[in-house]
Structure 1
Amino acid sequence: MSNVLAFRQPDTVRPEATGKGFALMHRQFMDSKLYKDSQAVHLWLHCVMKANYESKVIKTDLGEMVIGRGQFLTGRPTLVTETGISDNKVKSLLDTFCRMGMITRESYGRNFTRITLVKYDEFQSIFNPKEIQGKSNGEPRAPRLQEVVNPTEIQEKSITKELTNNSITNVIESPSVIVKAEKKKPSFSCEDVVSAYHEILPEAKGIRALSDTRRNKIKTFWVKASKITRQLDKEPFTLDSWKAYLKYISTNCRWMLEDRPDSRSGKTWQKKGLEYFLNDETYLQVREGAKDDR
């Protein structure tokens, strides 16, 4: 008997038409004290269903944001409407999920909250569910699934069209701003990106810590730069592309790396920092030679 349950649309419903894929629910949840609370089960299942299978860039009233794999934007009024659970109960359960390490929350004032399912990759992996099964079984015997299902194939057909949140007034999820994540996970991290920046542009403003804002900016830039690079080179934007971009700046855009006095205003133009280079418009203009020294 498998320890992984697959929740999906009936075979008569096409995922393309409904915008629904399927998600995996591990039976380990049955061992939790929360399992005896039907509303807790309902809300947790709802969170699993709402979480993104792939990273997306969306427009909100606070600007563009990357909503990563295992994340979704919501608010308590929305969760109340979507689940029928009372506001106080939703608040209490979300606090419990956080306390138990099941989710993390990032609040953006009264606009919305970004919820991250902490172990999403562990239970919603793009590889075969049998591999997850092997990690969770105490016995070495190989598990059997009732049917062979490839989660990636179904999920790639799924098109998420809804981001209905009563507390998000002007959120637009448009095909023009949603870019599919690379099928393969990048073999580098935000730390690698910063390390290359310091190594190639030692004269630029250095950074000492990677905040959530900076990590989010790196991810957003990567999606946009990849779109530009595909147009120019027919290839995705990689860590090597990032290094080549910085090396070009170090040779041809020296003005970005120097403090220069402005005789007209009497001020001094400061050398550029990481945030300046993590801008898709700057990247495009550098690629086109529009930022070269004159």
Structure 2
Amino acid sequence: MVKTESVGEVNAGRDLRRGVALLRQAGSGFGGRGGASGTGRGLRGAVLALVCCALALVIGGAARAEDLSGGYFGLGDARGMRIEVEQGDPAGDPAGLFIDSNGAEARFGGAWVGGGIEAVLAFPDSQVFLRLDAAPSGLVAIALPLDEDGQPIERASREMTFLRDGLAPPAQPELYQPEPDRADRVVDPDVFLASYSFWSPEGVSRGFSAIGARYRTMMRLYPMVHADVLWKLCGADGRLASEQRGEALRGQGVECAELLGLVEDLQRSGRFGEWKAAAEAEGADFLAAVQCARGYIVKREVCGPAAQKTAAAAVSLRTVATAIQPFR
């Protein structure tokens, strides 16, 4: 297990330059030496100065601390992760263990701040600022990676949900999230894959735009998934949907009228379940490829086969037209 520094109590408005300097001084001190409280105070000051806006909604309403002792398992994009809070009584110093989705462990000792726990996780090759707040039936965790100089990487921050041990997870897919209400939101591609079937056509259009060009292009390698997404896009209204359809249909050998008519026929004949089963089977392969590409999974037994399937798809020249041929 990897030992970490403690994070002391300080004001969120502590001078940022001093905090960044202390972050740099912390460098090699993580993972092997005891908690230097001065470094911890500077670290928290620097991190909070940069992420106060992101944390405001979580921290702001916490009038008192709750006992967070216990074990928690991750939901959604935190699946496979685990948090064990061993000393979660607000009367004492919090401590615990964080286990990521690849089994890497980091023990933490932190501080109670604004009703939640703040600490720094020191993994063998990275450091992560962590905040834990009580949520219905579990925890909300905000993780903010630190770069080699100990400075926060804001664009890589993540908010994750953990459920207390012994409780049943929700019936929706683990990665499910409500559809985006604006086109300018960022949507993780794995969240999109798990959720789009539950979204309105307009929500799918906004989500398809928000996953980024890289993953829209990657989706073309999985044409049954692409066909299922296109079917939703073809039913969406608005200029954004029109633009997304133009991009998604290019080179696929089909048009919206054909897709909409085919799915209507399948629904009427009772075969639409076969369509969805084919899309979901291909979607499982696509999801593994996406999560390996994003570094969320690094296990060879998962990413090796995913890479092979993606490479095979890249040379297969399959399109939506060929993928839906069995349903015509």
- TM-score normalized by the length of structure 1: 0.30
Return the structure number with greater relative CO, CA threshold 8 A, min gap 6. Answer: 1
